[in-house]
Amino acid sequence: MENKRIIEINGVKLEVDMSTAKVVDNFQIGDKVKVLKKPDQYNDSKVYPGVIIGFEEFKSLPTIVIAYLEVSYSKADINFLYFNSESKTEVVKATADYVQFNKDDVFSMLDREISSKERELADLNHKKEYFLSNFNRHFEAQGKEAV
């Protein structure tokens, strides 16, 4: 069975052996991608939605910078992948209809995490005020000024 095809590129006709032909993807900043994180001893393979946010043209190791979203039951994390020839991950273009998450759900998760961190910050500020108002005497007794 012959597996050759004639294709035309910019007016030039070429005969291509389709059994050895490779597909070459062109990536641009803003392209939607799928990130495959390969299994390790603790985790299985997982696919995450991502977007290309930059290219770093290092001479020895050109790198694509990708922001990808890990959504779990109650949390949404935005992580960064620095994809190059040494990466243990794979990246492919995502189709236009590929969406693994709901925008409102992700916003809700992020808002909950922001509220939690704001409460944590308020608690730490309260502890600092308590320390200053109640432990200041210990420093005065040593002849040092309080902060």
Return the sign of the alpha-carbon dihedral for residues 26, 40, 110, 98. positive
Joined together, the tokens standing for residue 129 give: 């005020």
- Confidence label for 43 from pLDDT (cuts 50, 70 and 90): confident
Q: Is the pLDDT of residue 63 over 80?
A: yes
Q: CATH 2.30.30 occupies which residues in the chain?
A: 23-100
In terms of CATH architecture, what is 23-100? Answer: Roll (2.30)
pLDDT at residue 108 is higher than 80: yes
Least confident of 22-26, 102-106, 115-119: 22-26
141 pLDDT band, cuts 50/70/90, is: low
Q: Is 70 exceeded by the pLDDT of residue 147?
A: no
pLDDT digits over 8-34, tens only? 776 778 888 877 877 777 889 999 999
What is the C-alpha separation between 101 and 135, in angstroms, rounded?
Answer: 49
The residue behind tokens 């294709």 is 7
Q: What b/e readout covers 55-72, taking b as 16+ CB neighbours within 10 angstroms?
A: eeeeeeeebbebbbbbbe
143: left (phi over 0), alpha (psi -120 to 50) or beta: left
Measure CA 15 to chain center. Answer: 40
> Token match 């935005």: residue?
78
Q: Give the global pTM.
A: 0.66
Residue 101 pLDDT > 90, yes or no? no
For residue 59, CA distances in Å to 20, 53, 82, 86, 142 come to 29, 19, 15, 14, 59
Q: Region 130-136: what's the mean pLDDT? A: 86
Kindly indicate the confidence band of residue 127, based on its pLDDT and cuts at 50, 70 and 90.
very high
Residue 12's pLDDT is what? 79
